[in-house]
Structure 1
């Protein structure tokens, strides 16, 4: 009988049996199922299984979080079920077959824009700061802006336009690169294609409306004798870049199948890139620009019409459910198009307020459940994360669990969205969400948006407490009952090691960050336990204490350690690096080996991993943190190997 035989049998039954499984695989922490019918999975029964730490559905996969012993559980599960597992990529492929065309389109859109988000967020912060410098009259400067009164800040403002322009005006380069990367085409061709859409040789997209047809014909036209093509740039345009990127991918696939390998290096890029560039400027660009303009015009008209308040209230309320379905990724493209066409967007302010509302609802749960230290390890970081623009930890970790805070946040977000839409609040840029989102707002709208922020905090907070007490939308968090259970859990008799402290030293050189900033939501939400993340600057992993290697994945991207006092640690190098199948990783120890603090455990090639398209951010997690009090020593700072990063105290 295996270690997890009972739990594996329970999971197989709760998930709908063998006949309900199309494919199954696993990664470092999760079982990943593609189910025939998701409705047959009994989530309440799955949640009751002792080994299961959580579950969620993403991109057509039903994912069950097991922990760092997932490989053992997986082997016992597949043996018990009598099925063979598949690779992670194969599971993703099967999962896509379960998606309808709309879901597939949304998945593709999400996978295109997700790699661009760090740049877009940075760009939003930069442009927001520039707003304050150049557009806000200051009373203490006699009504002048900061740039008008200071040569230094005028130069800073001018300098900041360099990255701001690179991120937003040249966004088509990022889009075409991301499409090529996602669909397995040659990435440098995607970059070159994007550059041809924003080249300085072309008439800037922002100057088209101010240039006459005669000037365009005379100065910005290619004359091929039998036809002419206008030299129009597509700065900040989303749809033209997407259409061109997809054409490049499909042309490359077409010619790669038909051109002999011996000469493919020369002719595949030639026959793929040149026709795409021509089609982009002759057909796809004009059509894409028109489509984008129509979409942005319709959205803008809806948000500026006499019924704008109704649209604003509706969108503000449903944005959070859109995040759950993944449909929210479509708004990023619409926002970008609105900024390109109108110089500002009326959609982004409501998105910022939705982030704030979800955080406020969690804050109310923190207040209502004060003293529940176990839940606070998830809820408190979730508030901070939501108010900085990332709501998934708040929604999946707390609000959807209880449901009534989620509905309270939707109502508060809807009222706040209605309010700011009524007063025509607009954002000059996108990328900055949550409380910092005010930096993106037009200076003349600061006051109204500030009131909207107060609404987005106050209404969800009050409604959450009211719904909880009145039992509205509240089936599992009964007043007085839940706290009694939680406090009983806390007051259980402690082991004899109570008060014993272990110091964990940095296993990597780099920059340490709070766990809430992990780029994988499973780690960020604390589902695997408490800890920190490190962005490494050197591809060497060292032992953080004396102990033993309890788990070493065949793919070498994750390693489990056990200290001499019983602290279990999972170190997961990178995000989704399991897909590399061990490439670029070299293990210096084996599973079962004893280790000493500072011993080299693993080497990995940071540059090669990043070049393959993966993050190297590394979570360091105490997987049995329910037995300890975990206290990070540093919040965000450069870290060296001789520095302590966490103290772990036995409870």
Structure 2
């Protein structure tokens, strides 16, 4: 008998039995169920199990938080249930049967950007460090930068740009690869397509924006502009979707014995042509419009209102999965305006959720069982990952979740009203200050202090005054 056999048997019964399980898998801390009928799951009963730290439903999957020992729990559950597990990707596909069209669309977008996030975070850290080396005058009474005084650090700064350039300037390669990977088509064709959007023989996108003369491919009776799409998100996505569609279309009509030769040829060449003639220019206009609207809203007289709404609602966006769409907007802002005033608010929201958990740790000190999830969750928030805190603690009690939303809104107002800009996406928590442009660092630190102090204090006040207490489970059952 395994360590979790008894709890596994009870969970099988509470979840509606073997016949209610369409697919099951696990990640680092959670069991992931795709249920035939989610209403049959006894959420209160499941969360009462000793080995369970909490539960939530996201993207069509019922997820049960077990903790770092989830692999052993999974093995015991598989043994008592006789249900064979599947991969996380297979579980995600099965879960889409429980999602409507809009949810499936958002899930697909999330799965396109998710594999890119580690590179974007590394790139953000590198740009932040380079920012500190070359743009912050900390030597000789604030007159000189480190790079201007030390050749070693000048060399480090120059060397690191090769990585930053690979991540951000050649981002379309990652996007087209990820689209091909997501939809199960030939990944190397996605990579080749991305390279054709950023080829050195094309005029760099930054040169186009600067008004440089655009070279052309001359076909005699018509010409095509040789424009690169470095750091462009939407042109790359449109091109990637087109490649996927054409490859799948030709696979259906081309005989299998000719498929390896003809399908890549007829899929790739028309896509590259369309990318440079139609999709790229259209995507450029769309991306420019989106970034202009967001940037204009945040820098207008009503920027504080936009900031308060975004700061307040960003955490709920994480629950729905909509937050992944902000990656594309951030990248577009960086390309268009040399920085993003949206991303700092995301970092502040993450910090606020961590501070609310910190207050719960303070209020519930001595609760060793809860601390197994609350302490790692708070640390995770401060490093930019909020799901363990939100699903494991804050939504469970609801009042810390609301306190964090209020603190996030106030911090966002200060950030936007002060014109805070980040050079890039970075670690979405306390280390995020490294990505902030030097002249705005002080104001961002002040906004960070608001995101730390306000949720902590409000959570304690809400607890002592009984505000929203006892509402967490009701809300969870209603919306999740």
| Correspondence for 2:282 among 266, 282, 287 | 287
Aligned pair 1:394/2:389, yes or no? yes
TM-score, normalised by the number of residues in structure 2? 0.89
The Cα shift of 1:173 comes to 0.6
Correspondence 1:336 to 2:335: no
Of 108-117 and 376-385, deviating more is 376-385
Give the superposition deviation at 1:92.
Answer: 3.5
Cross-structure match for 1:104: 104
Given that residues 24 and 31 in structure 1 are in contact (C-alpha distance below 8 angstroms), is that contact kept between their aligned partners in structure 2? Answer: no
SS at match of 1:232: coil
Please say if residues 141 and 149 of structure 1, whose CA atoms lie closer than 8 Å, have aligned partners that are also in contact: no
**What is residue 206 of structure 1 aligned with on the other side?**
206
Q: Distance in 1 between matches of 2:433 and 2:77?
A: 47
CA spacing shift, 1:152–1:76, aligned 2, 3 Å: closer
> Which whole-Å CA distance do the structure 1 matches of 2:444 and 2:30 have between them?
41
Runs of at least 5 residues in structure 2 that lack an aligned partner in the other structure: 473-480
Output the CA distance in 1 between the equivalents of 2:375 and 2:76.
Answer: 33
How far did residue 168 of structure 1 move? Answer: 0.5
**Distance of 1:127 and 1:72 partners within structure 2:** 46
Cα deviation, residue 74, structure 1: 4.8
Tell me which residue corresponds to 1:58: 58
Q: Is the 8 A contact 1:363 1:461 kept in 2?
A: yes
Higher RCO (CA < 8 A, seq sep 6+): 2
CA–CA separation in structure 2 for the residues paired with 1:210 and 1:476? 55
Question: Which residue number in structure 1 is paired with residue 475 of structure 2?
Answer: none
- Residue in 1 that maps onto 2:404: 409
Preserved contact between residue 316 and residue 414 of structure 1 (Cα < 8 Å):
yes
| Structure with a larger share of its residues in helix | 2
The 1:453/1:51 distance shift into structure 2, 3 A limit, reads closer
Q: CA 1:105/1:455 → structure 2, altered by over 3 Å: closer, same or farther? A: same
Q: Distance in 1 between matches of 2:133 and 2:23?
A: 54
- Once residues 8 and 429 of structure 2 are traced to their aligned partners in structure 1, the CA distance between those partners, rounded to angstroms, is 41
User: In structure 1, what is the Cα distance between the partners aligned to 2:8 and 2:381?
Assistant: 35
| Residues 239-638 of structure 1 mapped to structure 2, 5 A cutoff | 239-475=234-470
- How far has the Cα of 1:262 moved from its partner? 2.6
Instruction: Quote the offset at 1:85 in angstroms.
Output: 7.2
CA deviations 1:421-461 (Å, max 9, x no partner) are 11111111112221111111111111111110110111011
Is residue 14–residue 41 contact of structure 2 (8 Å, CA) maintained in 1? yes
Does 1:237 pair with 2:236? no
CA contact (8 A) 1:412 1:456 kept: yes
Partner of 1:145: 145
Which residue of the partner structure matches residue 188 of structure 1? 188
Query: 1:131·1:440 contact (CA, 8 Å) conserved in 2?
Result: yes
TM-score, normalised to structure 1, is 0.67
Given that 2:5 and 2:76 are in contact with CA atoms closer than 8 Å, whether structure 1 keeps it comes out as no
1:303-340, Cα deviation, whole Å (9 max, x unpaired): 01111001101111111111111111000111001111
The answer to whether the Cα contact below 8 Å between 1:5 and 1:77 also exists between their aligned partners in 2 is no
1:56 CA displacement: 2.5
Q: Secondary structure at the match of 1:124?
A: helix
Unaligned 5+ segments in structure 1 are 79-83, 478-651
Aligned to 1:224: 219
Partner of 2:44: 44
- 1:162 is displaced (CA, Å) by 0.8
Equivalent in the alignment of 1:23? 22
Structure 2 CA distance for partners of 1:432 and 1:30, relative to 1, 3 Å: closer
**CA distance in structure 2 between the partners assigned to 1:72 and 1:436 by the alignment:** 39
Deviation at 1:77, TM superposition (A): 4.8
Alignment CA distance shift 1:291-1:461 (3 Å): same
Change in CA separation of 1:373 and 1:108 when aligned onto 2, cut-off 3 Å: same
- Cα pair 2:229 2:280 within 8 Å, conserved: yes
Corresponding residue for 1:581?
Answer: none
Partners of 2:31 and 2:455 in 1: how far apart?
A: 35
CA distance 1:10–1:192, shift in 2 (3 Å): same
Determine the C-alpha separation between the residues in 2 that align with 1:119 and 1:244: 21
Return the alpha-carbon distance in structure 1 between the equivalents of residues 34 and 105 of structure 2: 19
Distance 1:126 1:24, change over 3 A: closer
The structure with the larger Rg is: 1
Structure 1 Cα separation of the partners of residues 346 and 32 of structure 2? 31
Distance in 2 between the 1:373 and 1:27 partners?
24
Distance across 1 between alignment mates of 2:117 and 2:286: 23
The farther-off stretch of 8-17 and 422-431 is 8-17
Taking the aligned partners of 1:424 and 1:364, their CA distance within structure 2 comes to 30
Comparing 89-98 with 372-381, which one deviates more in the overlay? 89-98
Cα distance between partner residues in 2 of 1:24 and 1:129:
44
**Kindly tell me: are residues 106 and 71 of structure 1, through their superposed partners in 2, closer, same or farther at Cα, counting changes over 3 Å?**
same
Map 1:83-98 onto structure 2 (within 5 A). Answer: 91-98=91-98
Change (3 A) 1:380 1:35: closer
Residue 299 of structure 1 and its aligned partner are, at CA, apart by: 0.8
Tell me if structure 2 keeps the 8 A contact 1:364–1:465. Answer: yes
RMSD: 2.7
Please, which moves more after superposition, 411-420 or 147-156?
Answer: 147-156
Greater strand content: 1
